[in-house]
Amino acid sequence: MSAPTPRRALLAEATARLREAGVASPEHDAAELLAHVLGTTRGRLVLLDEVAPAAVEEYAALVARRAAREPLQHLTGSAWFRHVELAVGPGVFVPRPETELLAGWAIERATAVAEAGRTPVVVDLCTGSGAIAKALADEVPQAQVHAVELDEAAHRWAERNLAGTGVDLRQGDLATAFDDLAGAVDVVVCNPPYIPLEAWESVAPEARDHDPHLALFSGDDGLEAMRVLERRAALLLRPGGEVGAEHADVQGTSAPAVFTATGRWTEVRDHPDLAGRARFVTARLAR
């Protein structure tokens, strides 16, 4: 019978393997996977000196899959986004921490509407896993939150994540969604696809090989979906309503230009992420 393996040695070996495979956060991911196998949290791993043989075997299999660049969240089956937990896996875009800033902006704008004495109406286009919509429902419970997703597999994940939240989830195209809300929406928020097709090789394997391509790529310049979003937001928003959309860090000028070029918007601004990179654009529909 095999003897237990010291936790420190197990983590050190896994970290080294993940680092060699090019994983961006090898220490974090090695610890998260071990915590997942042991049914505990990363912070409580220090309380364990040794790991039983059966758990070591299960852990080794997960580390091998992560070393092959399968997303960490696919291996654990969940991802945290602001204050909510999401079920994720093959077929849906894994929400990124930087998108929490865009969600926070939408939450602030919806809260401002509520404080003014109205029920906020918010639309999340390209909802994917339902991350932004679920965060909105969680943090602004008085809001009417609507969400749409085109991809069938991603829509099934959103159904699972948004069950019981009160969010009106639909399956459809952002270009034609929510005709029934035309002119009545306070906030439109969207994390659209924004990677140029020519940038295929530069995309991290976790995204390129595992996230749905519908959620990643958007024409030759990466702004095809942004232009569709601009038109749809102009239709959905009430005068003075606001739109916010994530974009690639190299689109800090070109993404806002999509809005300024039409003459329909005021207060067009770009916002950085925590690393100081251009991350999302906001604009207000002219009255």
Q: Across all residues in the chain, what is the average pLDDT?
A: 89
CATH architecture of 5-68: Orthogonal Bundle (1.10)
Q: What is the distance between the alpha carbons of residues 41 and 50, in angstroms, rounded to a whole number?
A: 15
Under 8 Å between Cβ of 271 and 280: yes
The CATH class of the 89-285 domain is alpha beta
Give the pLDDT mean for 29-55. Answer: 91
Stretch (H or E) spanning 158: helix 152-162
Give pLDDT, residue 222. Answer: 66
- If pLDDT is split at 50, 70 and 90, which confidence band does 252 have? confident
Distance from C-alpha of 25 to C-alpha of 19, rounded to nearest angstrom: 8
- Domain borders along the chain are 5-68, 89-285
Q: Which pTM was predicted?
A: 0.82
- Tens-place pLDDT, residues 150-177: 889 899 999 999 999 999 999 999 899 9
Q: Is 161 labeled as ligand-binding?
A: no
149 is in an annotated binding site: yes
Mean of pLDDT values over 62-88: 90
**254 vs 179, more confident:** 179
The CA distance from 257 to 271, in Å, is 14
Predicted confidence (pLDDT) at residue 185 exceeds the cutoff of 90: yes
- Does residue 59 have a known ligand-binding role? no
pLDDT score recorded for residue 111: 98
- Is 242 annotated as contributing to ligand binding? no
Radius of gyration of the chain (CA): 21
The answer to whether 191 is annotated as binding is yes
| Cα separations in angstroms, 201 against 20, 87, 195, 196 | 20, 28, 11, 11
